[in-house]
Structure 1
Amino acid sequence: MPVAAASVDGGAATMGDPLVDTHGRVHRDLRISLTDRCSLRCTYCMPEQGNEWLAKSSILTVDEIVRIARVAAADGITTFRLTGGEPLLRADIVEVVRRLAAVTGADGRPVQVAMTTNGIRLPQLLPALVEAGLDRLNISIDTLRGDRFHALTRRDRLDDVLAGIAAAQASGLRPLKLNAVAMRGVNEDELVELVEFAVAHGAQMRFIEQMPLDAGHTWDRSRMVTQDEILTALSARWALTAVPGRGGAPAARWLLDGGPHTVGVIASVTAPFCGDCDRLRLTADGQLRNCLFSTTEYDLLPILRAQTSPGGAVDAGIDGMLRSCVFGKLPGHAINDPAFLQPARGMNAIGG
């Protein structure tokens, strides 16, 4: 059952009040996973075979996604980020973007719609997505070498990803961000090359410390390339100057040789940014999560699919569950605590 939550001024929160947790963090970003399926099988994310996919009947419909989004926007969410799995595998992806782009917040301003994708279907879909109102793109690319890409993703699709990045560059969507998980013995010798590739394509490269989010629970801390190691490698090529004012953004950024180009590092393991986290997550099957590493979920499906509830009661139920989720948020993810438990779901089923 939803629990009472506090507003910014300490009183009882009601629909339309900001989503503030017990540590004073105001939540403005909702990550919406559209599917747990993907066209790749990255070793750090999911097994090549034997995946147990979410039941089709449990996947949120467009109407259900938009209903949640409208309540969230009224409560102060200003950005929807569409994730997966691979969001472009969803057949109605253009409709999802179009309808979310029409959602406005309490101030009447449209909510921003962003997407994280592997880029494979971008050449076919990007014009329609831009026309529908997509604002920003993040594209994942961990290596520029075909043999490594094949070994890492278990698919021979590097050329398709590169075509997607080229389409994104031509689209004019900015900022354009490229994401790479830095892995020892896999791609740590490509860090400079990846940044140079991003700069050449009008994008910002962002390196991500490998996190314990694989479905097989095989994460090994020794294989993770740390933020300090990443910066040391890049410093051999560029003078790095820290960019102040990160706020709730997951990536700390550095200017390359004074700018204008930058590189980002998401150091969730060695330099957690939990104290400024403003994100909530919605899984493809309607579960709210207040942290990527949470072992608790808040189920919206019974509220959304109650046959006898009037519309206002459904919206109130969504609002109450959002506030319960925020109220239950811990101060940090505790990856570095010996008692840390990896989430049961893999990254593809949680959403990035």
Structure 2
Amino acid sequence: MPTPAAPASPASPGDLLVDTHGRVHRDLRISLTDRCSLRCTYCMPEQGNEWLARSSILTLDEIEQIARVAAADGITTFRLTGGEPLLRPDIVEVVARLAAITGPDGRGVEIAMTTNGIRLREVLPGLIGAGLSRLNISLDTLRRDRFHELTRRDRLDDVLDGIAAAAESGLRPLKLNAVAMRDVNDDELADLVEFAIGHGAEMRFIEQMPLDAGHTWDRSRMVTQDEILAALAARWRLTAVPGRGGAPAARWLIDDGPTAVGVIASVTAPFCGDCDRLRLTADGQLRNCLFSTTEYDLVPILRSQEPAETGVDGSIDRMLRDCVRGKLPGHAINDPAFLQPARGMNAIGG
């Protein structure tokens, strides 16, 4: 996709990344691969996936260079996503290199990761040693038959073992994510919360969004935030937690805490007004919104034999600012003219 033309940015390298709506950007989601060890029905088809060419995937050096510029511009959190980030052979080194980055104030950045948990027990000690700060693990169901049907893979034991390893590690906060789907797992919502509590984790439910590669999303199949809370309120007393800030999940204390449950209601209760996130795809495209139809291509900058007068870092900084400046007020999912992104979630990055 061609890079959108943009006028010169008045900001300078090292200035905060502020969009035209006053939102300061602190979070960069970095996708490491579009490949995954599962084939979740709401994300990608079982067969016929067109994977990114390996030559198009950013190298570790390229990721680090982008991350250093982003940190200098005020990004304080890097979340590693995919596809499945643990499929990347150099994942421990990725974490180590990014964790060594400091911002203008000399403080280190925070390294978070979203994973399906497969391979987690094997690599978790290395990840923690490299500087991993936080983990989110996807778990849509506790039932083996349902897991197999939903992910098209019989890997529930591997996921549960990864969650157990994370719980044993003491890495906190630990969060479990589930996409709530009507007539699929909506009868397990309370059970998933109980499971999370038993593993020292916080359960977070996500409204199903129009991000599947097949573009088959159906609003009627989505379980709304109100429905999720009603199901949980049948078992527990829920108290809203104030001070959400730019976090994607609204949170409720369970029976006065300390345990909480979160809901990411991107469709019925959008939080775009406080969004502080940018995304970098595995093939070097900057995105200012999960649902954006525009991408900003960093690859020519990174791989050019003739860098611009500002140098590679200066050109990366310029592209970051152009991307932020092009950010719309919201994702417009509820607008009749909404267009679903061409890429599926696995190719965009979580």
TM-score computed with the length of structure 2 as normaliser:
0.98
Letter of the structure 2 residue corresponding to residue 52 of structure 1:
E
Deviation at 1:327, TM superposition (A): 0.3
Deviation at 1:4, TM superposition (A): 3.1
- 1:237-248 equivalences under 5 Å are 237-248=235-246
Contact 2:308 2:315 in 1 (8 A): no
Contact 1:169 1:176 in 2 (8 A): yes
Contact 1:2 1:323 in 2 (8 A): no
CA distance in 1, matches of 2:310, 2:192: 50
Deviation at 1:312, TM superposition (A): 5.5
Question: Which residue is equivalent to 1:265?
Answer: 263
Question: Which residue is equivalent to 2:7?
Answer: 3
CA distance in 2, matches of 1:45, 1:107: 39
- 1:33-182 equivalences under 5 Å are 33-182=31-180
CA distance in 2, matches of 1:223, 1:325: 33
Contact 1:182 1:207 in 2 (8 A): yes
Unaligned runs of 5+ in 2: none
* CA shift digits 1:179-201 (9 cap, x unpaired): 00000010000000000000000
Contact 1:207 1:266 in 2 (8 A): yes
Question: RMSD between aligned alpha carbons?
Answer: 0.9
Deviation at 1:346, TM superposition (A): 0.1
Moved over 6 A (4+): none
Contact 2:178 2:204 in 1 (8 A): yes
Contact 2:140 2:185 in 1 (8 A): yes
CA distance in 2, matches of 1:182, 1:3: 42
Question: Which residue is equivalent to 1:252?
Answer: 250
% identity of equivalent residues? 83
Question: Which residue is equivalent to 2:29?
Answer: 31
Letter of the structure 1 residue corresponding to residue 11 of structure 2:
A
Letter of the structure 1 residue corresponding to residue 36 of structure 2:
C
Question: Which residue is equivalent to 1:325?
Answer: 323
CA distance in 1, matches of 2:235, 2:68: 46
**Residue 187 of structure 2 aligns to a residue in which SS?**
helix
Deviation at 1:172, TM superposition (A): 1.1
CA distance in 2, matches of 1:34, 1:311: 29
**Residue 241 of structure 1 aligns to a residue in which SS?**
strand
CA distance in 2, matches of 1:4, 1:196: 52
Question: Which residue is equivalent to 1:9?
Answer: none
CA distance in 2, matches of 1:289, 1:310: 22
Question: Which residue is equivalent to 1:228?
Answer: 226
1:291 to 282, 289, 292: 289
CA distance in 2, matches of 1:312, 1:189: 56
CA distance in 1, matches of 2:7, 2:27: 21
Letter of the structure 2 residue corresponding to residue 114 of structure 1:
A
CA distance in 2, matches of 1:44, 1:205: 19
Question: Which residue is equivalent to 2:334?
Answer: 336
Unaligned runs of 5+ in 1: 6-11
